[in-house]
Amino acid sequence: MPSTAITANRLLDGAVIYLTADGGWSERLADAAIADGKDAETDLLAAAETQARAGTVIGPYAFKVEVEAGTPIPLGRREAIRTLGPSVRTDLGTQTATH
Amino acid sequence: MPLIKNGAPLQDPWFAVTGDEQLDRDGPLLVPLEIWQAHRDRLAGRVGPVGVRLASHQSPALVADDLDRLDLVALEFPKFTDGRAYSYARLLRERHSFGGEIRAVGHILRDQFAFLLRCGFDAIEVDERAAAGWQSATTAFSAWYQPATDDAASIPARRRYAVPARSTAAVIRSEPVTPRQPSPAEVAVCAATWAY
Amino acid sequence: MYRYDEFDHTFVTQRVEQFREQVARRISGELSEDEFKPLRLMNGLYLQLHAYMLRVAVPYGTLSARQLRQLAYIARRYDRGYGHFTTRQNIQFNWPTLSDTPDILADLAAVEMHAIQTSGNCIRNTTADATAGVAADEVADSRIYCEIIRQWSTLHPEFSFLPRKFKIAVTGSGRDRAVTAAHDIGLRMQRDADGNPGFEVLVGGGQGRTPVLAAKIRDFLPEGDLLSYLEAILRVYNQLGRRDNIYKARIKILVRETGAAEFARLVEAEWAHIRNGELRLPADELERIRGYFAPPLYQALDDACPELAAQRAGNRGFDAWVQSNVEAHKRPGYAIATISLKPHGGIPGDASAEQMEVVAGLADRYGFGEIRVTYKQNLLLPDLRKGDLFAVWKALGETGLATANSHRLSDIIACPGLDYCNLANARSIPIAQVISARFADLEREREIGNVTVNISGCINACAHHHVANIGILGVDKKGKEFYQVTLGGAADENAAIGDIVGPAFDEDRIAGAVETVVDVYLAERRGADEAFIDTYRRIGLKPFKEKLYAAH
Check residues C209 and C313 and name the one with the higher pLDDT.
C313
pLDDT digits (tens, 9 = 90+) for C237-270: 999 999 999 999 999 999 999 999 999 999 999 9
Query: Which chain B residues are closer than 8 Å to C6 by Cβ?
Result: 165, 170, 172-173, 176-177
Residues 104 through 143 of chain B touching chain C, CB cutoff 8 Å? 109, 111-112, 114-116, 118-119, 129, 136, 140-143
Query: Given this model, what pLDDT does residue B173 score?
Result: 35
**Cα separation, C79 vs C71, whole angstroms:** 10
Based on the domain organization, do C440 and C493 belong to the same domain? yes
B122 in a domain, yes or no? yes
pTM: 0.94
Distance from CA of A37 to the nearest CA of C (A): 22
Q: Which domain holds residue C211?
A: 134-290
Q: Each residue of C213-246: b (16+ CB within 10 Å) or e?
A: bbbebbeebebbbbbbbbbbbbbbbbbbbbbeee
- ∠ CA B63-B69-B70 to the nearest 5 degrees? 65
Q: Which residue has the higher pLDDT, C30 or C365?
A: C365
CB contact (8 A) between residue C238 and residue B194: no
Judgement on whether residues C238 and C349 belong to the same structural domain of the protein: no
Residue C16: count other Cβ atoms within 10 Å of its Cβ. 25
User: Best mutation site among B76, B86, B158 for testing chain C: the one with the most C CBs within 10 Å?
Assistant: B86
Indicate if the pLDDT at residue B53 is higher than 60: yes
Query: pLDDT digits over C184-193, tens only?
Result: 999 999 999 9
Q: How confident is the model at residue B175 (pLDDT cuts 50, 70, 90)?
A: very low
pLDDT at B174: 37
Strand ranges inside C150-255, DSSP E: 168-171, 185-191, 197-203, 215-222
- Taking only the tens place, the pLDDT of each residue in C138-173 is 989 999 999 999 999 999 999 999 999 999 999 998
With CB atoms and an 8 Å threshold, state whether C49 touches A81: yes
| B56, B136, B177 member nearest C5 (Cβ) | B177
Q: Residue A1's pLDDT is what?
A: 63
Q: What is the pLDDT of residue B185?
A: 55
Instruction: Report CA B105 to chain centroid distance, whole Å.
Output: 12
Number of domains in chain B: 1
Q: How far apart are CA A21 and CA A35, in angstroms?
A: 10
Dihedral sign computed on CA atoms, order C20, C25, C29, C34: negative
Higher pLDDT, B50 or A97: B50
With H, G, I as helix, E, B as strand and everything else as coil, classify residue C256: helix
Neighbours of B124 (CB within 10 A): 24
If one counts the domains in chain A, the total is 1
Residue B189 has pLDDT above 60, yes or no: no
Any domain includes B189: no
Give backbone dihedrals phi and psi of B158, rounded to 5 degrees, phi first. Answer: -65, -35
Establish if B179 belongs to a structural domain.
no
**C430, A88: Cβ pair inside 8 Å?**
yes
Q: Is residue B161 part of a domain?
A: no
Tell if the CB–CB gap between C238 and B84 is shorter than 8 Å: yes
Give the distance from residue C47's alpha carbon to the nearest chain A alpha carbon, in angstroms: 7
Confidence tier at B181 by pLDDT (50, 70, 90): low
Give dist(CA B73, CA B52) in Å, integer: 5
What value does the mean pLDDT take over residues C190-197?
95
Given its phi and psi angles, is residue C327 left (phi above 0), alpha (psi -120 to 50 degrees) or beta? beta
Q: Taking the CB of residue C473, how many other CB atoms lie within 10 A of it?
A: 25
Q: pLDDT-based confidence at B6, cuts 50/70/90?
A: confident
Average pLDDT, integer, range B69-91: 97
Hey, are the CB atoms on C278 and B157 less than 8 Å from each other?
yes
Q: Is residue C450 part of a domain?
A: yes
pLDDT at C425 over 60: yes
For residue C289, the distance in angstroms to the closest alpha carbon of chain B comes to 9
Indicate whether C391 belongs to any domain.
yes
Which chain C residue has the Cα nearest residue A52? C33
Residue A7: closest CA among A36, A55, A49 = A49
Last residue of a domain, one of C237, C265, C290: C290
| Option in C97, C347, C419 nearest A81 (CB) | C419
Residue B27's Cβ-side half-sphere holds a number of Cα atoms within 13 Å equal to: 8
Question: Is C268 domain-assigned?
Answer: yes
Which chain C residue has the Cα nearest residue A75?
C479
Residue C432, C-beta contacts closer than 8 angstroms, at least 6 positions apart: C347, C348, C412, C414, C455
- C21 neighbors B136 (Cβ within 8 angstroms): yes
C325 to chain B, any CB pair closer than 8 A? The answer is no
pLDDT for A2 equals 78
C359 compared with C552, residue with greater pLDDT = C359
| Strand, coil or helix: B62 | helix
User: CB contact, 8 Å: C302 with chain B?
Assistant: no
Tell me the CATH number at B61. Answer: 3.20.20.70
In a 3-state reduction of DSSP, which class is residue C80?
A: coil
What's the CATH code of the domain at C146?
3.30.413.10
Domain identity same for C227 and C312: no
Task: Report which of residues C400 and B133 the model is more confident about.
Answer: C400
Residue B17 has pLDDT above 80, yes or no: yes
How confident is the model at residue B194, as a pLDDT? Answer: 35
pLDDT at C199: 97
Query: What percentage of chain C reaches a pLDDT higher than 70?
Result: 100
pLDDT band at A33 (very low <50, low <70, confident <90, very high): very high
CA distance C143 to C134: 11
Distance CA C307, CA C319 (A): 13
B contacts of C156 (beta carbons < 8 Å): 145-146
Taking CB atoms and an 8 Å cut-off, how many pairs form between chains B and C? 152
CA–CA distance, B18 with B28 (Å, rounded to integer)? 14
C255 lies in the same domain as C376? no
Q: Can you give the pLDDT at residue B9?
A: 87
ipTM over 0.90: yes
User: Residue C217: left (phi > 0), alpha (psi -120 to 50), or beta?
Assistant: alpha
* Domain assignment present for C339: yes
Amino acid at C490: A
C359: domain CATH number is: 3.90.480.20
Please, what is the average pLDDT of chain C? 97
Which region among A84-88, B121-125, B181-185, C346-350 has the lowest average model confidence (pLDDT)?
B181-185
Tell me if B92 is assigned to some domain: yes
**Which residues form the domain of A52?**
3-96
Report the residue from C49, C99, C429 with minimal CB separation from A12.
C99
pLDDT in tens, C48-66: 999 999 999 999 999 999 9
Encode pLDDT of C74-122 as tens digits. 999 999 999 999 999 999 999 999 999 999 999 999 999 999 999 999 9
Q: Tell me whether residues C7 and B158 touch, CB distance under 8 A.
A: yes
pLDDT at position B128, please? Answer: 81
**Considering the domain boundaries, does residue B167 fall inside one?**
no
Flag whether pLDDT at B103 surpasses 80.
yes
Please indicate if any CB of chain C lies within 8 Å of the CB of A2: no
CA C479/CA C425 separation, integer angstroms: 9
Provide the pLDDT confidence category of residue A94 given band limits of 50, 70 and 90: confident
Last residue of a domain, one of C75, C94, C110: C110
Range of the domain at B83: 3-140
Q: In what order do the strands lie in the sheet with C52-56?
A: C45-47, C52-56, C91-93, C82-85, C350-352
For residue B177, being part of any structural domain is answered with no
* Interchain CB distance below 8 Å, A81 and C418: yes
φ, ψ at C429 (rounded to 5°): -60, -45
Please say if the pLDDT value at position B22 is more than 60. Answer: yes
Structure confidence at residue B190 (pLDDT): 41
The count of domains in chain C is 4
Determine, yes or no, domain membership for C126: no
Domain contains B61: yes
Q: How far is CA C22 from CA A43, C90, C109, in A?
A: 32, 24, 17
